[in-house]
Amino acid sequence: MDTLYWHDYETWGINPAEDMPSQFAGVRTDNDFNIVGEPLNILCRPALDVIPHAEACLVTGMTPQQVDQQGVSERDFFAAIHAELAQPNTCSVGYNSLRFDDEVTRYGLYRNFYDPYGREWQNGNTRWDIIDMLRLCYAVRPEGINWPQRDDGVVSFRLEQLTEANGLSHEAAHDALSDVYATIAVAKLIKDTHPQLFDHVFSLRQKQKAQEALALGSGKPVLHISSRFGSEFCCGSLVLPIAQHPKNKNEIICVDLRYSPKPLFDLDAQQIADLLFTRVADLPAGIDRIPLKSIHINRCPIVLTPKLVDDKVAARLSLDWPSCEAHRKQLLAFSGLAKKLQAVVTANAFDNSDRDAEALLYDGFIPNRDKPLMQKIPTADAATLAGSVFPFEDARLPDLLFRYRARNFPDSLTADEREEWLHFCRDKCLSSESGSLDDMSRLDKELENIDSLLISKPESSDVLNDLADFLKQKKKLLAGG
């Protein structure tokens, strides 16, 4: 049976590559939102190298002491999660999950020796995210839904504000399980209000459907919805697919037809690449914007027929059809544009040589030779891990294995290994982000942050004082005092 697995994480920070999860909740339903089986609600104990951020604790109300007491090891945490997400014919879905929760899952599976991607596509599995469906509804079919606004008058897509505005149950915002039930309720609201739109967006989780919708090479524009376009344009624009990324077949390079394509004609590939991530205010005179936008067909993109952009929708999106059409014709007439844009997206390679192994998930796929060795690790006990040799080909995996043992089986470490682990934790927690001895350590910086928050948020003093105690104890342990 096809099922949807609605899920949500709470974490100790906002960077999925570095900040560990504190809570996971998941609920399985059929395609009509009927609950199947028991929900999963699980906490993950913070390891010695984890620095919980105060803002994260304030959002959830959870302290590391509570999670440490009630939680499980990260090994058991991700074993339970993987068992749910990897069930055949499962579509894993969340709210803003592609940009955040799926990244937490990928990095967590990677650290714990599971295939970080397999559960997304093997055995009939897919993944989905409903937040851009909400943005699409607001842009082209706003009727039937109450849209909350921020203080500045801009629409808010915050889950707790959407549920409140539409009278949907959401008992404890930022509790993972409560957020899951709220996400299901919002999805049901969209399906009940705009069933055809819901079904189309749901189909785009299949990358072949997204590829067909983009129709690369046809010379036709598509309506694309993305937060990158900004709330002033209802997160939407017309784009023209130009070329496939030369190294990532799932990435399609597009041009935003809202803006003049002249910079793409006048500048060389390196110049365009250098300006691509420059703030609009800092662009050279005469250049309003570099109008490039990549669309990933394996990330459930919202791409639809431009026929949806009638006069009313064009006004909502601040789109001028004649200008967009003129820009489209200019792009199609420019010889060699596809090759030029392919050169742009590969012009500035990142040097990962000094990055930590745990942050290098996207530094390449695990070699096939290592996969049978990896599969042994999640079920191996402490003695087996300590007494076995794993001749990995991938240079990232020995570091991952050592830290996996240290976090999950600290008693299995030898005296030398314990000292190595402590050295790693000291370096991570008691050094500065810049690496300079003159700058404040990460841990001390967080303690300073807590002091500031105690002044600005005295009502949260219990959580903040508990966190400060936790960090001070960690500092004392790592300093050897």
In this predicted model, what pLDDT tens digit does every residue of 466-476 receive, in sequence order?
A: 999 999 999 99
Rounded Cα–Cα distance for residues 188 and 157 (Å): 16
pLDDT at 288: 75
Q: In this structure, are residues 138 and 233 in contact, taking their beta carbons and an 8 Å threshold?
A: no
Which sequence spans correspond to the domains of the chain? 1-203, 206-345, 357-479
Copy the structure tokens of residue 51.
């620095």
CA 174 to chain centre: 17
Q: In this structure, are residues 96 and 180 in contact, taking their beta carbons and an 8 Å threshold?
A: no
Residue 434: which pLDDT band, with cuts at 50, 70 and 90?
low
pLDDT at 280: 76
Let me know if the fold of 1-203 is the same as that of 357-479: no
Alpha helices in 235-381 (DSSP H): 262-266, 269-275, 311-316, 321-333, 337-345, 371-376
Rounded Cα–Cα distance for residues 398 and 462 (Å): 40
Mean pLDDT for the stretch of residues 79-93: 99
Copy the structure tokens of residue 440.
């404040």
55 beta partners:
none
pLDDT at 437: 60
Pick from 378, 248, 154, 138: which is nearest to 146 by CA?
138
| CATH code, 1-203 | 3.30.420.10
Residue 347: which pLDDT band, with cuts at 50, 70 and 90?
confident
- Work out whether the CA dihedral 156, 161, 166, 168 comes out positive or negative: positive
Please state whether beta strands 251-256 and 236-244 pair in parallel, antiparallel, or not at all (unpaired).
Answer: antiparallel
Count of all residues that appear for the chain in the document = 481
pLDDT at 276: 85
pLDDT at 353: 59
Q: In this structure, are residues 358 and 17 in contact, taking their beta carbons and an 8 Å threshold?
A: yes
Residue bearing the bigger pLDDT, 352 or 361? 361
pLDDT digit string (tens) for 45-84? 999 999 999 999 999 999 999 999 999 999 999 999 999 9
Please state whether beta strands 126-129 and 292-296 pair in parallel, antiparallel, or not at all (unpaired).
Answer: unpaired
pLDDT at 37: 92
CA 141 to chain centre: 26
Rounded Cα–Cα distance for residues 147 and 153 (Å): 11
Of the chain, the end-to-end C-alpha distance in Å amounts to 56
Rounded Cα–Cα distance for residues 406 and 410 (Å): 5
* Sequence-ordered list of residues with C-beta below 8 angstroms from that of 288, at least 6 positions apart, any chain: 259, 260, 280
Please state whether beta strands 40-43 and 21-29 pair in parallel, antiparallel, or not at all (unpaired).
Answer: antiparallel
pLDDT at 174: 77
pLDDT at 64: 98
Number of H-type helices and E-type strands within the chain: 21, 10
Residue 172 has pLDDT above 80, yes or no: no
Q: Which residue has the tokens 């009727």?
A: 143
pLDDT digit string (tens) for 102-124? 999 999 999 999 999 999 999 99
pLDDT at 132: 98
Residue 323 has pLDDT above 90, yes or no: yes
Q: In this structure, are residues 78 and 112 in contact, taking their beta carbons and an 8 Å threshold?
A: yes
pLDDT digit string (tens) for 1-54? 899 999 999 999 999 999 999 999 999 999 999 999 999 999 999 999 999 999
Mean pLDDT for the stretch of residues 144-149: 97
pLDDT at 148: 97
Residue 144 has pLDDT above 90, yes or no: yes
Q: Which fold has domain 357-479?
A: Monooxygenase (1.20.1280)
Residue 238 has pLDDT above 80, yes or no: yes
Q: In what order do the strands lie in the sheet with 90-94?
A: 40-43, 21-29, 3-11, 90-94, 126-129
Mean pLDDT for the stretch of residues 345-353: 73
Q: In this structure, are residues 421 and 413 in contact, taking their beta carbons and an 8 Å threshold?
A: yes
Residue 432 has pLDDT above 90, yes or no: no
Q: Specify the CATH class of 206-345 in words.
A: alpha beta
Mean pLDDT for the stretch of residues 176-196: 97
DSSP SS3 for 476: helix
pLDDT at 284: 82
Q: In this structure, are residues 275 and 287 in contact, taking their beta carbons and an 8 Å threshold?
A: yes
pLDDT at 287: 80
Rounded Cα–Cα distance for residues 372 and 275 (Å): 44
